[in-house]
Each structure stands twice: as C-alpha cells, then as structure tokens.
Structure 1
C-alpha cells in the first residue's frame, strides 16, 4: 500500500526454487555483533532525551546499527526482481480463487506499482476479493515454527505486528514457504524513515515529525537487539527457526517496514476480535482522499474491496487508507500526500504549575475531559482548530472570575459544549488573549524551520534531493502551510473581536 516501493530493482535475481544458503560469520564477527547488540540494548532501554540531546542519542544508536550492518553484509539475501515474480504471483492468486478479471498490476509514474482497472468500474463495484487462506496473519504465525516462541515470549503475545514481522522473516528464509509467490513481489526496500540517511532526516529539523522518526528508529533498534539475543538461546522454541543464525538488522528493518506499510486489521474466524494481516494484491493499492471501502465478509471468509468512486478503464484504482496526517503517512507508510484532507500538525501545550490559577484551571480542564499538558493538533482546511484546542486555550487564558463562573456549571457535557463552541465567547478579553497566544505560537513554530515554504518549493523544483529527502521537504511544506493558515485564521479572529470592542 502507498507510494513506498519506487526504489529501482538491482540486476541480480534469486532462483525460484530455493532460498540461497546464508554464509556463516567468523567467530570474531559474531563476537563483535554481540558486543554491539549489548550496547544497543542498554542504550535503547534508557529513557529517551529531548531537545538537542535527542538527535545526539539517535546518532549514537545509529552508529551501533551501522557497525552491525557492515558485519552482516555477507548474510544478506540476494535481491529479487519484482516484475519477474508477478506472473507466478498472479497464477498463485488464481489458484487460490482470487479473480483478477477487473484489475492488473501496473507501474505508475510517481507511485510505483499499483492496480489498474481493466474495465470501467462504478462507485461501489467490488473489484477484488481475497480469501483468508492467502493472507499472512498474526494468527497464521501461531501455526508455524514460531508457535512455541509466541507462547513463551510476552512481547510477541502483546505485539501481534511484531509477531507478524517475524512470521514474514521466517517464511522469507524458508525453503518451501507457501507464501513464496507473494513474498517475492514485495519491495526490496521502503521509504519509511527507517531507511533515511542522517542527511535525509536533517531536512525534518523543526518538524514535530523528527521526534517521531527518531522514536521509531530507537524502538526498532531495541526490538532487534532484544530478539537477536533471544535467538542466541539454544531452546526448542528458537533452534527450529530459519532465522536463528541469520537474524540480520536489514532483514528485520525490511520485515517491520513491510508490516507497517501494508498491514490491515481483519476479524478472527469466529469474529470475536481483530487480528493483523498482510493481504496479497490488495496491498498494492495506493492512497487517495475518500472513504474506507474495504470490508471483511465472515460468511465468505474473505476481504472485499469496493471502488470508492468511478474509475475508467486503464485508470489507477485508489483506496483510502484512513484519516492520517502526512506525518503519520510518512512515518508509517513511507509517503507524503500533499492533497491530504486530513492533514494536521502536532502542537504541545501545557499550563505551568507556577501559574497561580493552576489548580482552578486544572480542575476545569478535568471536567472537560482534558489534562494540563498534552499534544493538540492544528488542522488543514477552513477551520484549523478543533474543540479540544479551543477549550484548552480559553481555560488557559481565563482570569479567576471567569474560571469560577464556568466552574459553577453543573453539567460537564454542557460545559464542554459551551467552551468548545467557536461562536460563543467567554469574554472579549479572554478571546483576544487566546487567539493572540495561538498566533504567536504558530509563528514561533514556523521560525523553528530553517527554511521558508517558498524556499522549500524552490528546492523541490531543482530535483537535486534524494527520494527520502524529497519526502521530508514535502512534509515540512505541508506543515508550514497549516501553520500559516493558523496565523491568518487567528489574526482574522482578533480583528473581528477588535471591531466589536
């Protein structure tokens, strides 16, 4: 799913019959890796820092990872050529009762591979049905060589997406995986931040997404170190795994990125709960604005996808991934969508405990279902603020008289509705303070970026950036656009208030 598979394929290809044997590392290399893994686990298990130190810690963790990667170079599998794997994949799908009559695989400029309509589709037409038996799921992992490890390991029990990633890795390294035709069609690498260079990430300085990228990198590094050490144990749960002696970081990064960018939730066979799944062919659909039109039929035991709008013959078929910000799309899906109707930027706000009215403000926020310090969001569109942010700003700027007046409101839902209504004023003075504060804060956030939106737009025209750096610049363009919108909106609100006073 998503524009995350545009990397050019290398010239080598694997034999279709079997996975090549992995070269065994010298004892000295194994010892070095073990030492790096130990340091990695220790460093990643410490509470993360903030501010400038956060990036410094990231560089230290990255250096350990790069040392591990260099030592593991000879254990990497040869690259595959996706296009050459497509015919066998389609035959495999058809053998599992998946109809490809209405669609074909096609490479689209700017998107990578996607699904193309072979005939006209009307909105609501079902164009793809994929049975559960073709899917790799957190549940199917429990019927493989991973079953005992899942039963024993608490992390795999509470993090099904991690279990699915290890499931994928085991099948990729297996000699006779039933999912081989599907696995061979997966991208060789992704454009998630796990693949960003340090230079790519530096383009995100000033963006709240930088912390999200660093946090993700840190978490995956910690997971890798944890499972590497776990696989060194000689237990019945680990000795049978095909990844035991070749659990390399590049493989784990690839598997995690595959799951992050392509997974979907489906119900278990009895419908009692949801589980994660990789859905072959459906996961080739790219994203656009719209509504979610994928459902799962328990009766047919298959995932069904319906056209979210009319599509003409030979047109690319898009689906809607969900209401995600561009920062979320970049971190978890590896692309940025400038036309995103659900885009937003995170803003952290809090009330100081040194504020003499802290207690009153805290209690009033609690009655509205909010806390004194949290992340809020500024949105794209004509109204960039939501009710939560409006409530917080008003309470943040209230004087004692107004705090006590609103605190006397008996009904909490009425209080929240009143304070979150844009058309209702606490007082002219409070409103002016609230919008002035938001305008100033948005301007400060804009100054945190090292470039202006105009400079970014010119930079994108040069075509001098790497693919991942381009994504970073596109993201910060979108974020700056939202912040500029907030500045203009707050200024307009203040002018309106001043005309009334």
Structure 2
C-alpha cells in the first residue's frame, strides 16, 4: 500500500512515559491503522532530570551504536537466512525492498532497491509477532497475577533461548543482543556508574536495576518448577528484560516483539513509524522519504532526549534535535523567601510543552536544544 492510496498520515509516535496511554489513529478509506509506541519508559517511575554527560563518557558509546553517523554497509552473513525463515514461518512475503546488514549502528536494514516516499517497505503478520500469548500454558498457570507483561515476554525469550535450535524462534533469539553487547547504563560497572553519579541518570539506573531485581524475584518461584529453567540467572533475566523494553511496541493488541522490524535503527528526524492494521492483522512501515539501493533505512522510536536513549536503548546521538536538560536550583528549605522564589521561578521560566520523560519539581526548569 503506497502512501497515496489512502488517507493515512505518518504520525510521529512516541512513548508516553509514566502516564495513561492513548493511541493516535489513522483513518483509512477501508480500514484503520494504529500507530505503535515504544514502551521502555512506561515501566518505570518518572525520572528526575539528568545533566549533560562529560564528553569523556560519550567515548564509551562510539562502539555501541549511533555515535558514528556514517560507517559500514556490509552483509550480515549470520542473518542472511533470517528473512527467508521468517517468511516461511509467516507463509507470506514480508519485504522485497530490504536486506539485513551491519552498519556503525550494529545490525541494520538497508534498501535492496530504489524506495520511494510512501512505499510500504515491510509487512509483518501478527502470527509471527511475539506476545504474552506465546507463553507456555504450563508456565502461565503458575505465574502470579502480579507478573507484568514485560516480565512475561522476558520469560518467553529465556525459555526459547534455553530450547536452543529446537526452538521455533531460534533464528530470532540468536539475533538478540547478549550481555557484553548492551550498553544501557543498567549494565555499567560500579566504577563506570560512579563517573555519572552527579547525574540523575545514575539514580534512575539504580532504580531500574532494583525494579528488575524485584521482578526477577517474583518469577523465580515459577522458574524453579522447571529443571531446564531453574538455572536462569538475574543477568539472564536482565538481558531478556532489556530486549523487551528496548524493542517491543505497544498497540491496541498489547505489547509485541516484531521480528525483522526491530532491526531498524533510530533517526530522531524520521517520520516513519510502525503502523498496526487490526483488520488485516499485520504491522507495517511506510517510507517517509526516498532511499537509494544500499542506503540504511531508519525509523523513529520517539522524541527522546539523550538521557532516555542512553538508559533505555544504550546509545546517544551526537546531534539530537530532541535533547533537553533540566536545571535544578538549590533553594534551602529554611530560606524565608523559598516560596516566593519558587513562585517567581515558575512564573518567569518558559513552559516546554513537549518535554519528554521527566517530572518537573517546583525548583526546576527545562532547556531544550535550540530553544
């Protein structure tokens, strides 16, 4: 379906951190497409504002993903059979316009032919998307009702990995990053975290790790009922949990991992997002611009500042048009003029309507890039 064949608009989808979620809708002439949302921040308490990172820390991310805007365009031999496998599993064509390769970003999708604005570049049926419904009934039956969707998806990934090549999802599981390949701050060493201890990203990292540990403790009793799963460690669970929160999309049908689509890397300026067609039961991506053969095809995860990208996805952007910093003023509580100063601060500082991801205490204000 080309862009010109419907009245659908490519609306920029972003996660709605820590708030009740609503989905934007595109009304087509014959059906309805729903815009997907990246979900990582939805499963944490609101973060307090980060400060800019010292440049020496950004060196850490050069090998992790997006710090180098230009780089390799090479075949990924390990993934050569991935798309044919997925199409056999789906019993339908998913894409003839894209191939899997490696760039400076890691595993990526490239144009295999000329792509024009409005082209549908991939369609993935719901039948080959991983949702909580894929959880084995015998495991689901003994899980506590308090176990969240992210943890359920993480368990699915762990179970499939334990099955090895006998898993029906083995080619996909093998493509997911493992410990040592993930550069989110939740995997940093204590020494590395101490380098950003003055940033609120430090405390948010601590909070996120504590949440994952709590969720793991909640699923351990169920895992221990199965000899093949009782050896799963906290580190295993963290890797699977990160794969879910950094890769899953939410639509009207809930959370899902979308193989092949989640190989697309992030461009904050792109207008391409994942669209869901509940009537025809597939997810699709529409090109927002022309691509030449061999050019990497990108998608927009959302309007995220670098602090959120670092924590949720493990990379930063050198020129992030959505970057922001929140400045906190230290006004002592015993200051007789504290309330007046806070009132002046709120009155005189501009309000940023599209600030992302941070609660704004009374003694703070946000500065956005270019503002």
Shorter-chain TM range is: 0.5 to 0.7
Structure 1 residue 312: deviation in Å?
1.1
Q: Which residue is equivalent to 2:191?
A: 199
In structure 2, the residue corresponding to 1:174 is in which secondary structure?
A: helix
Q: Is the 8 A contact 2:273 2:301 kept in 1?
A: no
Matches of 1:188 and 1:215 in 2, distance apart? 22
Partner of 1:91 in structure 2? 84
Change (3 A) 1:146 1:361: farther
Q: Is the aligned partner of 1:146 residue 2:143? A: no
1:305 is aligned to 285
The alignment yields a C-alpha RMSD, in angstroms, of 3.2
Map 1:43-54 onto structure 2 (within 5 A). none
Match of 1:132 in 2: 126
Q: Aligned match of 1:336 in 294, 316, 328? A: 316
Q: 1:83 to 1:228 in 2, by over 3 A?
A: farther
Q: 1:259 aligns with which of 231, 244, 261?
A: 244
For residues 160-203 of structure 1, give each alpha carbon's deviation from its aligned partner in whole angstroms, at most 9, with x where no partner exists: 11221112112221364322221122223311123222333233
- Higher-Rg structure is 1
Equivalent position to 1:180, from 170, 175, 200: 170
Of 115, 120, 124, the match for 2:114: 120
2-structure distance, mates of 1:98, 1:144: 30
Aligned length: 282
1:378 aligned to which of 342, 353, 367:
367
Change (3 A) 1:346 1:229: farther
* Equivalent in the alignment of 1:223: 215
Question: SS where residue 141 of structure 2 aligns?
Answer: helix
The alpha carbon displacement at 1:248 in A equals: 1.1
Work out whether residues 274 and 285 of structure 2, in 8 Å CA contact, stay in contact via their aligned partners in 1.
yes
Aligned partners of 2:256 and 2:245: how far apart in 1? 11
Spell out, residue by residue over 1:89-122, the C-alpha distance to the aligned partner (whole angstroms, 9 max, x if none). Answer: 22221111242310000111x2111001001112
CA gap 1:223/1:374 in 2 versus in 1, 3 angstroms: farther
**Normalising to structure 1: TM-score of the pair?**
0.51
Q: CA deviation at 1:362?
A: 8.1
Structure 2: which 5+ residue stretches go unaligned? 1-47, 49-74, 352-358
Say whether the 8 Å CA contact 1:146–1:167 is kept in structure 2. Answer: no
Equivalent position of 2:266 in the other structure: 287
Contact residue 261 and residue 334 of structure 1 kept, 8 A: no
For the 8 Å contact 1:351–1:372, the answer to whether it is kept is no
- Shift of residue 125 of structure 1? 1.5
How far apart, CA to CA, are the structure 1 residues paired with 2:328 and 2:302?
24
CA drift of 1:228 comes to: 3.1
Alpha-carbon deviation of 1:209? 1.8
Deviations 1:382-410 (A, max 9, x none): x1xxxxxxxxxxxxxxxxxxxxxxxxxxx
Choose between structure 1 and 2 for higher RCO, CA contacts under 8 A separated by at least 6 residues.
2
Q: Tell me the TM-score normalised to structure 2 length.
A: 0.67
Q: Which runs of 5+ in 1 are unaligned?
A: 1-49, 51-81, 233-238, 269-274, 384-501
Q: Does 1:106 align with 2:101?
A: yes
Shift of the 307–133 alpha-carbon distance from structure 1 to 2, 3 Å rule, reads same
